[in-house]
Amino acid sequence: MNQDKQTTYQISSKQSVFDLNLREVWQYRDLLLMLVKRDFITFYKQTILGPLWFVVQPLLTTAIYVVLFGNIAKLSTDGTPQILFYLSGITIWNYFSESLTKTSTVFTANAGMFGKVYFPRLIMPLSIVASSLMKFAVQFGIFVLILLYYVFFTKTITPNAWVLITPFLVLLMAMFALGVGMIFSSLTTKYKDLSFLLSFGVQLFMYITPVVYPVSALPEKYRFLLYFNPLSPIFECFRYAFLGSGSFDLFNLLWSAGFIVVILVTGTVIFNKVEKNFMDTV
Protein backbone atom coordinates (compact mmCIF):
# COMPACT_ATOMS: atom_id res chain seq x y z
CA MET A 1 0.00 0.00 0.00
CA ASN A 2 1.55 3.24 -1.16
CA GLN A 3 1.59 6.18 1.17
CA ASP A 4 0.73 9.60 -0.22
CA LYS A 5 3.75 11.78 -0.47
CA GLN A 6 3.53 14.99 1.47
CA THR A 7 4.65 18.05 -0.38
CA THR A 8 5.80 21.17 1.42
CA TYR A 9 5.27 24.51 -0.28
CA GLN A 10 7.15 27.61 0.68
CA ILE A 11 5.51 30.88 -0.27
CA SER A 12 7.87 33.77 -0.60
CA SER A 13 8.04 37.04 -2.48
CA LYS A 14 10.01 36.89 -5.70
CA GLN A 15 10.11 40.63 -5.85
CA SER A 16 13.44 42.23 -5.08
CA VAL A 17 13.52 45.36 -2.94
CA PHE A 18 15.07 47.07 -5.96
CA ASP A 19 12.17 46.02 -8.20
CA LEU A 20 9.88 49.05 -8.03
CA ASN A 21 7.28 47.40 -10.28
CA LEU A 22 6.11 50.70 -11.73
CA ARG A 23 4.15 48.86 -14.43
CA GLU A 24 1.84 47.47 -11.76
CA VAL A 25 1.45 50.93 -10.26
CA TRP A 26 0.37 52.19 -13.68
CA GLN A 27 -2.19 49.36 -13.93
CA TYR A 28 -3.76 50.63 -10.69
CA ARG A 29 -3.95 54.25 -11.88
CA ASP A 30 -7.76 54.19 -11.53
CA LEU A 31 -7.34 53.45 -7.83
CA LEU A 32 -4.89 56.34 -7.58
CA LEU A 33 -7.42 58.74 -9.09
CA MET A 34 -10.15 57.42 -6.80
CA LEU A 35 -8.01 57.98 -3.69
CA VAL A 36 -7.17 61.52 -4.80
CA LYS A 37 -10.87 62.26 -5.30
CA ARG A 38 -11.71 60.73 -1.93
CA ASP A 39 -9.14 62.86 -0.09
CA PHE A 40 -10.35 66.04 -1.76
CA ILE A 41 -14.04 65.39 -1.06
CA THR A 42 -13.35 64.30 2.52
CA PHE A 43 -11.50 67.53 3.21
CA TYR A 44 -14.48 69.55 1.96
CA LYS A 45 -16.93 67.66 4.18
CA GLN A 46 -14.83 68.07 7.31
CA THR A 47 -14.45 71.87 7.15
CA ILE A 48 -16.95 74.64 7.78
CA LEU A 49 -15.57 76.88 5.03
CA GLY A 50 -15.11 74.05 2.52
CA PRO A 51 -13.04 75.09 -0.51
CA LEU A 52 -12.75 78.63 0.86
CA TRP A 53 -10.30 77.32 3.45
CA PHE A 54 -7.77 76.88 0.64
CA VAL A 55 -8.03 80.64 0.11
CA VAL A 56 -8.30 81.82 3.72
CA GLN A 57 -5.38 79.80 5.10
CA PRO A 58 -2.53 81.20 2.92
CA LEU A 59 -3.88 84.76 3.04
CA LEU A 60 -4.23 84.71 6.81
CA THR A 61 -0.74 83.23 7.22
CA THR A 62 0.67 85.84 4.86
CA ALA A 63 -0.92 88.64 6.87
CA ILE A 64 0.63 87.29 10.08
CA TYR A 65 4.06 87.01 8.43
CA VAL A 66 3.81 90.56 7.12
CA VAL A 67 3.19 91.81 10.65
CA LEU A 68 5.71 89.61 12.47
CA PHE A 69 8.58 89.27 10.04
CA GLY A 70 8.03 92.31 7.85
CA ASN A 71 6.95 95.06 10.22
CA ILE A 72 8.24 93.91 13.62
CA ALA A 73 11.37 91.88 12.80
CA LYS A 74 12.09 94.09 9.75
CA LEU A 75 13.40 91.16 7.68
CA SER A 76 14.46 91.99 4.14
CA THR A 77 12.29 90.99 1.20
CA ASP A 78 14.82 91.97 -1.48
CA GLY A 79 12.79 95.08 -2.30
CA THR A 80 9.66 93.16 -3.35
CA PRO A 81 6.20 93.81 -1.85
CA GLN A 82 5.92 91.93 1.42
CA ILE A 83 2.61 90.28 0.58
CA LEU A 84 4.04 88.75 -2.61
CA PHE A 85 7.30 87.72 -0.97
CA TYR A 86 5.67 85.88 1.93
CA LEU A 87 2.81 84.45 -0.14
CA SER A 88 5.27 82.98 -2.65
CA GLY A 89 7.13 81.21 0.15
CA ILE A 90 3.98 80.04 1.91
CA THR A 91 2.44 78.66 -1.28
CA ILE A 92 5.24 76.27 -2.13
CA TRP A 93 6.15 75.51 1.49
CA ASN A 94 2.58 74.43 2.30
CA TYR A 95 2.66 71.95 -0.57
CA PHE A 96 5.95 70.43 0.56
CA SER A 97 5.16 70.26 4.29
CA GLU A 98 1.67 68.81 3.81
CA SER A 99 2.90 66.16 1.36
CA LEU A 100 5.75 65.21 3.69
CA THR A 101 3.75 64.95 6.93
CA LYS A 102 0.91 62.96 5.36
CA THR A 103 3.23 60.62 3.49
CA SER A 104 5.16 59.92 6.69
CA THR A 105 2.08 58.22 8.23
CA VAL A 106 1.15 56.01 5.27
CA PHE A 107 1.78 52.68 6.99
CA THR A 108 0.34 53.51 10.41
CA ALA A 109 -2.69 55.41 9.07
CA ASN A 110 -3.63 52.75 6.49
CA ALA A 111 -2.70 49.53 8.31
CA GLY A 112 -6.32 48.36 8.29
CA MET A 113 -6.67 48.80 4.55
CA PHE A 114 -3.28 47.24 3.79
CA GLY A 115 -4.19 44.17 5.86
CA LYS A 116 -7.42 43.49 3.96
CA VAL A 117 -6.77 44.05 0.29
CA TYR A 118 -3.81 43.96 -2.05
CA PHE A 119 -2.74 46.82 -4.26
CA PRO A 120 0.67 48.37 -4.92
CA ARG A 121 1.46 50.13 -1.65
CA LEU A 122 3.25 52.88 -3.54
CA ILE A 123 -0.19 54.02 -4.73
CA MET A 124 -0.96 55.47 -1.30
CA PRO A 125 1.94 57.96 -0.97
CA LEU A 126 1.51 58.89 -4.62
CA SER A 127 -2.16 59.70 -3.99
CA ILE A 128 -1.19 61.95 -1.07
CA VAL A 129 1.26 63.95 -3.17
CA ALA A 130 -1.30 64.21 -5.99
CA SER A 131 -4.18 65.32 -3.74
CA SER A 132 -1.94 67.94 -2.10
CA LEU A 133 -1.17 69.18 -5.59
CA MET A 134 -4.83 70.14 -6.04
CA LYS A 135 -4.66 72.34 -2.95
CA PHE A 136 -1.41 73.82 -4.20
CA ALA A 137 -3.05 74.69 -7.53
CA VAL A 138 -5.72 76.76 -5.75
CA GLN A 139 -3.19 78.63 -3.61
CA PHE A 140 -0.86 79.12 -6.56
CA GLY A 141 -3.79 80.64 -8.45
CA ILE A 142 -4.29 83.16 -5.63
CA PHE A 143 -0.61 84.04 -5.76
CA VAL A 144 -0.76 84.57 -9.54
CA LEU A 145 -3.82 86.84 -9.27
CA ILE A 146 -2.11 89.08 -6.70
CA LEU A 147 1.07 88.99 -8.77
CA LEU A 148 -0.81 90.17 -11.87
CA TYR A 149 -2.18 93.12 -9.91
CA TYR A 150 1.36 94.26 -9.07
CA VAL A 151 2.57 93.60 -12.62
CA PHE A 152 -0.13 95.60 -14.41
CA PHE A 153 -1.17 98.24 -11.89
CA THR A 154 1.95 99.09 -9.89
CA LYS A 155 4.64 98.11 -12.44
CA THR A 156 6.92 97.09 -9.54
CA ILE A 157 7.21 93.40 -10.40
CA THR A 158 8.65 91.91 -13.56
CA PRO A 159 8.49 88.11 -13.96
CA ASN A 160 10.89 86.51 -16.42
CA ALA A 161 11.16 83.44 -18.64
CA TRP A 162 12.20 81.20 -15.75
CA VAL A 163 8.51 80.93 -14.80
CA LEU A 164 8.35 78.22 -17.46
CA ILE A 165 10.23 75.79 -15.22
CA THR A 166 7.64 76.08 -12.43
CA PRO A 167 6.32 72.53 -13.12
CA PHE A 168 9.88 71.25 -12.70
CA LEU A 169 10.24 73.05 -9.36
CA VAL A 170 6.94 71.61 -8.13
CA LEU A 171 8.02 68.15 -9.29
CA LEU A 172 11.26 68.46 -7.31
CA MET A 173 9.34 69.39 -4.15
CA ALA A 174 6.93 66.49 -4.67
CA MET A 175 9.81 64.06 -5.16
CA PHE A 176 11.64 65.31 -2.06
CA ALA A 177 8.52 65.15 0.11
CA LEU A 178 7.71 61.70 -1.25
CA GLY A 179 11.22 60.35 -0.66
CA VAL A 180 11.65 61.71 2.87
CA GLY A 181 8.05 60.84 3.75
CA MET A 182 8.46 57.20 2.69
CA ILE A 183 11.67 56.91 4.72
CA PHE A 184 9.94 58.18 7.86
CA SER A 185 6.83 56.11 7.15
CA SER A 186 8.97 52.99 6.96
CA LEU A 187 10.86 53.81 10.17
CA THR A 188 7.74 54.67 12.20
CA THR A 189 6.41 51.12 11.80
CA LYS A 190 9.01 50.18 14.45
CA TYR A 191 9.85 53.52 16.06
CA LYS A 192 6.58 55.36 16.45
CA ASP A 193 8.09 58.26 18.38
CA LEU A 194 9.79 59.36 15.16
CA SER A 195 6.46 60.86 14.10
CA PHE A 196 6.81 63.42 16.91
CA LEU A 197 10.36 64.16 15.80
CA LEU A 198 9.18 64.75 12.26
CA SER A 199 6.40 67.17 13.25
CA PHE A 200 8.95 69.22 15.20
CA GLY A 201 11.57 68.84 12.48
CA VAL A 202 9.29 70.17 9.75
CA GLN A 203 8.67 73.36 11.74
CA LEU A 204 12.40 73.77 12.36
CA PHE A 205 13.22 72.98 8.73
CA MET A 206 11.10 75.93 7.59
CA TYR A 207 13.46 78.33 9.35
CA ILE A 208 16.54 76.91 7.62
CA THR A 209 14.73 77.27 4.30
CA PRO A 210 14.33 80.74 2.73
CA VAL A 211 10.56 80.88 3.28
CA VAL A 212 10.30 84.08 5.33
CA TYR A 213 13.64 85.59 4.37
CA PRO A 214 15.81 85.75 1.23
CA VAL A 215 19.25 84.16 0.98
CA SER A 216 20.69 87.67 0.70
CA ALA A 217 19.60 88.35 4.30
CA LEU A 218 22.36 86.07 5.58
CA PRO A 219 25.97 87.25 5.91
CA GLU A 220 27.77 86.43 2.68
CA LYS A 221 30.29 84.08 4.30
CA TYR A 222 27.47 81.88 5.64
CA ARG A 223 25.21 81.80 2.59
CA PHE A 224 26.79 78.67 1.18
CA LEU A 225 25.51 76.73 4.21
CA LEU A 226 21.93 77.42 3.18
CA TYR A 227 22.47 75.62 -0.11
CA PHE A 228 23.11 72.36 1.69
CA ASN A 229 19.34 72.45 2.05
CA PRO A 230 18.00 71.11 -1.29
CA LEU A 231 14.90 73.28 -1.01
CA SER A 232 16.84 76.56 -0.95
CA PRO A 233 17.63 76.66 -4.70
CA ILE A 234 14.00 75.81 -5.46
CA PHE A 235 12.65 78.70 -3.38
CA GLU A 236 15.21 81.12 -4.75
CA CYS A 237 14.48 80.10 -8.35
CA PHE A 238 10.72 80.41 -7.79
CA ARG A 239 11.05 83.94 -6.42
CA TYR A 240 13.57 84.94 -9.06
CA ALA A 241 11.22 83.73 -11.80
CA PHE A 242 8.02 85.37 -10.56
CA LEU A 243 9.26 88.36 -8.57
CA GLY A 244 12.52 89.12 -10.36
CA SER A 245 14.33 89.32 -7.03
CA GLY A 246 16.98 87.30 -5.28
CA SER A 247 19.78 85.26 -6.77
CA PHE A 248 19.48 82.24 -9.02
CA ASP A 249 22.25 79.76 -9.76
CA LEU A 250 21.51 76.94 -12.20
CA PHE A 251 24.30 74.81 -10.74
CA ASN A 252 22.69 74.91 -7.28
CA LEU A 253 19.34 73.92 -8.76
CA LEU A 254 20.90 70.98 -10.62
CA TRP A 255 22.70 69.89 -7.45
CA SER A 256 19.39 70.05 -5.61
CA ALA A 257 17.70 67.95 -8.32
CA GLY A 258 20.41 65.29 -8.16
CA PHE A 259 20.24 65.07 -4.37
CA ILE A 260 16.43 64.82 -4.44
CA VAL A 261 16.57 61.96 -6.97
CA VAL A 262 18.89 60.05 -4.63
CA ILE A 263 16.53 60.64 -1.68
CA LEU A 264 13.52 59.51 -3.73
CA VAL A 265 15.21 56.30 -4.89
CA THR A 266 16.42 55.56 -1.35
CA GLY A 267 12.97 56.19 0.11
CA THR A 268 11.28 54.01 -2.50
CA VAL A 269 13.68 51.12 -1.91
CA ILE A 270 13.22 51.30 1.87
CA PHE A 271 9.43 51.58 1.44
CA ASN A 272 9.45 48.59 -0.90
CA LYS A 273 11.37 46.53 1.65
CA VAL A 274 9.27 47.44 4.68
CA GLU A 275 5.90 46.90 2.96
CA LYS A 276 6.57 43.14 2.81
CA ASN A 277 6.40 42.62 6.58
CA PHE A 278 5.27 45.88 8.16
CA MET A 279 2.02 44.28 9.43
CA ASP A 280 4.11 42.35 11.95
CA THR A 281 5.44 45.52 13.56
CA VAL A 282 2.89 48.27 12.99
Checking if the pLDDT of 11 tops 50, the result is no
Closest by CA position to 62, among listed 76, 83, 79, 81: 83
Q: Tell me, what's the pLDDT at 192?
A: 73
**Model confidence at 220: pLDDT above 50:** yes
Confidence at residue 222, expressed as pLDDT on a 0 to 100 scale: 82
User: How confident is the model at residue 1, as a pLDDT?
Assistant: 47
Predicted confidence (pLDDT) per residue in 177-217, tens digit: 999 999 998 888 777 777 778 888 898 999 999 999 998 88
At residue 144, the pLDDT reads 95
Is 69:86 a contact under the CB 8 Å cutoff? yes
Region 163-181: what's the mean pLDDT? 95
- Per-residue pLDDT tens digits for 75-105: 889 889 999 999 999 999 999 999 999 888 8
Q: Which of 108-122, 198-212, 263-277 has the highest mean pLDDT?
A: 198-212
Buried b (16+ CB within 10 A) or exposed e, 207-216: eebbbbbbbb
Query: Residue 197's pLDDT is what?
Result: 84
Q: How far apart are CA 137 and CA 85, in angstroms?
A: 18
Alpha carbon 271 to chain centroid distance?
17
**What's the rounded mean pLDDT across residues 59-69?**
93
